Amino acid sequence: MAKAVLGIVGGSGIYDLPGLADVEEVRLASPWGEPSDALRIGRIGLTKVVFLSRHGRGHRLSPSDIDYRANIDVLKRADVTDLVSLTAVGSFREDLPPGTFVLVDQFVDRTHRRESSFFGRGCVAHVSMAHPVAPRLQERVAAAADAEGIAVTRGGTLVCIEGPQFSSRAESETYRGLGYAVIGMTAMPEAKLAREAEIAYASIAMVTDFDCWHPGHDHVSAAAVVAVMAANAERARRLVARVARDFPAEHEPCPAGSDRALDHAIMTAPAARDPALLARLDAVAGRVLG
Ligand SMILES: CSC[C@H]1O[C@H](OP(=O)(O)O)[C@H](O)[C@@H]1O
Ligand SMILES: Nc1ncnc2[nH]cnc12
């Protein structure tokens, strides 16, 4: 079994992880493009932790401009086996008010101008996204929340829109009518790429607003998200620090198959594979491509 390395991607309002010990800032190059920021590699307790700011420190990148492939690629190069995503979201449910942490377990991808796969012409692969969240990793987040006395709601569907504009009222009502729990702009293709890279993925969706459907609340604004995230950040950091402190030394095999996603996924015959693409896949698909 591989040594467990915990990755944390911090979203809006979470640009660092102050609890990291022995931190080294490492700028890894990726053949896929420019990662959002340098990795901050350190440890919490005995666990190696790799932190990446999704929008970059100073929030330089919009959801559409983030190079999700480069981000996941460098996390893989840093040996991350398990990745916890922190993300600010709007809520479609009265019982999930601002301040609620939701451990979502499904995603709906409404993005349309992002590179969403490492594979393609010259090396075609199809991985399963039936269960995009790694159940054991989510269980660890839930247990850490319990231990820290932080309330979390388990389960729910996150719809990921392209943004950067927030939704119209009609869109918001539609998503709500479809039974989605929360809305954000970054979970996709992050979760898809983590799966292709065989990294177990779980998401802590932190509700900052009621989007724009709720008659009793103002519609979402960036300022409101920032204000609620400022109040959420300490709890989020405490939660991930606890996950790290209680993390096992060895990566636990994933019942959803996150860590073996590429077994039987690659369609392209060895002789038909593009050497240039294979070279770029060295980190994410090294286990199966050799
Ligand atoms: C600042 S409001 C919209 C912005 O916040 C969320 O970012 P993240 O998921 O990285 O926490 C949302 O997805 C949008 O990118
Ligand atoms: N209402 C909302 N829509 C999309 N992304 C968000 N992030 C935080 N709140 C959001």
Residue 31: asked if its preceding bond is cis (omega within 30°), the reply is no
| Residues 262 and 287 sit within 8 Å (Cβ to Cβ) | yes
Which secondary-structure segment (H or E) carries 142? Answer: helix 135-148
Whether 55 has a binding-site annotation, put simply, is yes
Question: DSSP secondary-structure letter at 198?
Answer: T
Residue nearest to atom 1 of ligand 1 (CA): 222
Instruction: Assess if residue 290 is contained within a domain.
Output: no
Residues 204 and 10: their CA atoms lie apart, in Å, by 10
ipTM of the complex: 0.99
At 225, is the pLDDT very low, low, confident or very high (cuts 50, 70, 90)? Answer: very high
pLDDT tens digits, 126-161: 999 999 999 999 999 999 999 999 999 999 999 999
Which residue has a Cα nearest atom 5 of ligand 2?
A: 184
Q: Quick check: is 288 in a domain?
A: no
Residue 77 domain flag: yes
E strand or H helix at 85, and its extent? strand 82-91
14 lines ligand 1 (CB under 6 A): no
169: confidence class by pLDDT, cuts 50, 70, 90: very high
- Domain assignment present for 285: no
Residue 115 lies in a domain: yes
On whether residue 232 sits in a domain, the answer given is yes
CATH of the domain at 154: 3.40.50.1580
Residue of the nearest CA to atom 13 in ligand 1? 185
Annotated binding-site residue? 200: no
| CA 13 to ligand 2 centroid distance, Å | 13
pLDDT score of 1 more than 80: no
Q: Domain residues for 112? A: 5-279
Ligand-binding annotation for 245, yes or no, is no
Q: 106 pairs with which residues across the strands?
A: 157
Question: Do 228 and 217 touch, CB atoms closer than 8 A?
Answer: no
C-alpha of residue 211 to centroid of ligand 2, in Å: 6
What tens digit of pLDDT does each residue of 55-81 get?
999 999 999 999 999 999 999 999 999
Which tens digit of pLDDT belongs to each residue from 77-132? Answer: 999 999 999 999 999 999 999 999 999 999 999 999 999 999 999 999 999 999 99
Mean pLDDT, rounded, of the chain:
97
How remote is the CA of residue 222 from the centroid of ligand 1, in Å? 9
**pLDDT band at 275, cuts 50/70/90?**
very high
**With 80 as the cut, is the pLDDT of residue 251 above it?**
yes
Q: Is 88 in the pocket of ligand 1 (CB under 6 A)?
A: yes
| Substitution candidate for ligand 1 out of 52, 60, 61, 87 with most atoms within 8 A of CB | 87
State which of 12, 83, 167 you would mutate to test the pocket of ligand 1, scoring each by most atoms of that ligand within 8 A of its C-beta: 12
168, part of any domain: yes
pLDDT value, residue 2 = 87
For residue 223, the CA-to-ligand 1 centroid distance in Å is 12
3-state secondary structure of 286: helix
194-221 pLDDT, tens digit each: 999 999 999 999 999 999 999 999 999 9
The pLDDT assigned to 290 comes to 83
The count of domains in the chain is: 1
Q: Kindly state whether residue 177 falls inside one of the protein's structural domains.
A: yes
